[in-house]
Amino acid sequence: MAVITVEDIIEATGGQLLTEHSKYFDGVSIDTRTISEGDLFFAIRGENFDGYEFLEEALLKGRGAVVESRPAALPKDKVIIYVSDTLRSLQDLAHFLRKKHDIPVVAVTGSNGKTTTKEMIYAIVSRKFKTLKNEGNLNNHIGLPLSLTRLQSDEEIIVLEMGMNSSGEIRRLCEIAVPSHGVITNIGKAHLGRLGSYEAVRDAKLEILEGLSAAIINSDDADLTHGVENIKEFSGQIITFAINNSADITARDLRTTKIGSDFLLDIKGMESMSVSLGVFGHFNVYNALAAAAVSFSLGMNMNEIKAGLESYTAFPMRFEILKAKEVTLINDSYNANPSSVEESIKELFRLGDKGRRVAVLGDMYELDEFSETAHRDVGKLACEAGLDVFVAVGEMMGLAADEIINLKGGTAGPEVFRFNDANEAKGNIMDILQQGDTVLIKGSRGMAMERIVERITDAI
């Protein structure tokens, strides 16, 4: 259990103590639904929520609160700390607590694979070191500092996923967490709409390099490794991983199995070792290599790395393979962007070697002015790949369906179906599927594509 003292909070935030009752807190919360008796509540105002609406409830359940508006009446039995900005104060407290611990901090970013890579790193290093990680994908300017407030005195390594929607966000997260090791899984087409160009996405991710002692880089990603000034000027240690190119950590002899992927793991200076990964997809082999590279840099040996990777199990809705009767279902419904859709379709063909290959794809968000082109490109990819059935869910993915129809003309091509949303697709999907099909379900989080998955699994 973390112990955070009133003195820690005042020193970190420069806040003013209005009432004093307890000397310490067991944790930090911004949510009255999960707050515990010993927690300190930060009353944060966001775009879609206002913590002050729940302050009274928070003080009934917790031990105190940090506020930026002085309460009309001060409770005598709770701690109240007044600050100028509650969000900034939460971040400052997280930074203060992290700096009290001189331990490695691993930060993971990239367009795809962040959460899986973070979890694979944790699966390896936690076998040897007491390790803190951010839960789920609490990877933003609120979730990451909340994770750091759980830091305990005997923690030996911290592993943090860092997400971003705009330039400067990764830099700010690094200011809070002060990482020693950074991983860039890849640079893809996520957040194009918000950042305006592929180069801007890359540069925003590369903010992670500032201040690192070691950077772990995907050397199969040409846009990361060829002529990028940020990397050429990086003064720390660079550890590379790859499948196709030479690198410090590589995989060879890849083979899809009934439970995932087998490959030979090569680490420079060590004897090769076979790894049986319990998750599918070549992209997950990349994630495993990134995790191996981090673990190697932290002093783990080959046997420890192998054992950690082989202990990792898939997260729900992230390329989760569900088999029932004669249908193979690939539940990749957690999220989607153009790069991840392309990779998932490639894996659909690696896995679906018997019956029809069916892609049920929902709209991809955060593309703004690039949205039409990106969705039409999905239609082109569906034709080029040779999909048997294409199910478009949502207005924008309907453009991909239009592209398929235009491209195939009167010739053979994917059979096309289109629906307005996941609920409509859910009601019709079983009329489309056949025994022997391999079915990919994917779309952005807001599309709720998991509803279609639930319908299929209930039916088969």
pLDDT, averaged across the chain? 93
pLDDT given at position 361: 98
Following DSSP, what letter does each residue of 303-326 receive, concatenated? HHHHHHHHH--PPTTSSEEEEETT
> Looking at the predicted structure, is the pLDDT value of residue 73 above 90?
no
Q: How far apart are CA 191 and CA 209, in angstroms?
A: 20
pLDDT given at position 136: 77
pLDDT digits (tens, 9 = 90+) for 258-270: 899 999 999 998 9
Residue 204 in contact with residue 187, Cβ under 8 Å?
A: no
> Looking at the predicted structure, is the pLDDT value of residue 157 above 90?
yes
Average pLDDT over every residue of 354-369: 94
pLDDT given at position 202: 83
> Looking at the predicted structure, is the pLDDT value of residue 189 above 80?
no
pLDDT digits (tens, 9 = 90+) for 138-154: 899 999 999 999 999 99
Residue 453 in contact with residue 320, Cβ under 8 Å?
A: no
Residue 287 in contact with residue 312, Cβ under 8 Å?
A: no
How many other C-beta atoms can be found within 10 angstroms of the C-beta atom of residue 325? 9
How many other C-beta atoms can be found within 10 angstroms of the C-beta atom of residue 136? 12
Tokens of 450: 């998991």
> Looking at the predicted structure, is the pLDDT value of residue 78 above 80?
yes
Q: How far apart are CA 149 and CA 154, in angstroms?
A: 14
Neighbouring residues of 254: CB distance < 8 A, sequence distance ≥ 6: 243, 261, 262, 263, 282, 285
Going by the DSSP 8-state scheme, the letter that residue 26 receives in this structure is S
pLDDT given at position 410: 61
How many other C-beta atoms can be found within 10 angstroms of the C-beta atom of residue 406? 12
pLDDT digits (tens, 9 = 90+) for 415-451: 999 999 999 999 999 999 999 999 999 999 999 999 9
> Looking at the predicted structure, is the pLDDT value of residue 107 above 80?
yes
Tokens of 216: 């772990």
Average pLDDT over every residue of 373-386: 96
pLDDT given at position 192: 64
pLDDT given at position 191: 59
The strand pair at 320-324 and 327-332 is best described as: antiparallel
Three-state SS at 253 = strand
pLDDT given at position 196: 67
Residue 208 in contact with residue 174, Cβ under 8 Å?
A: yes
pLDDT given at position 110: 93
Q: What is the CA radius of gyration of the chain?
A: 24
Give the pLDDT band of residue 1 (cuts 50, 70, 90).
low
| H or E element that contains 92 | helix 86-99
pLDDT digits (tens, 9 = 90+) for 308-332: 999 999 888 999 999 877 899 999 9
CA nearest to 59, candidates 84, 72, 42: 42
Q: Please, what are the domains in the chain?
A: 4-85 (3.40.1390.10), 101-311 (3.40.1190.10), 320-459 (3.90.190.20)
Tokens of 82: 């007044």
Q: Which of 101-105, 185-189, 281-285, 436-440 has the lowest mean pLDDT?
A: 185-189
Residue 447 in contact with residue 423, Cβ under 8 Å?
A: no
> Looking at the predicted structure, is the pLDDT value of residue 373 above 80?
yes
Average pLDDT over every residue of 1-27: 93
pLDDT given at position 433: 95
Residue 159 in contact with residue 108, Cβ under 8 Å?
A: yes
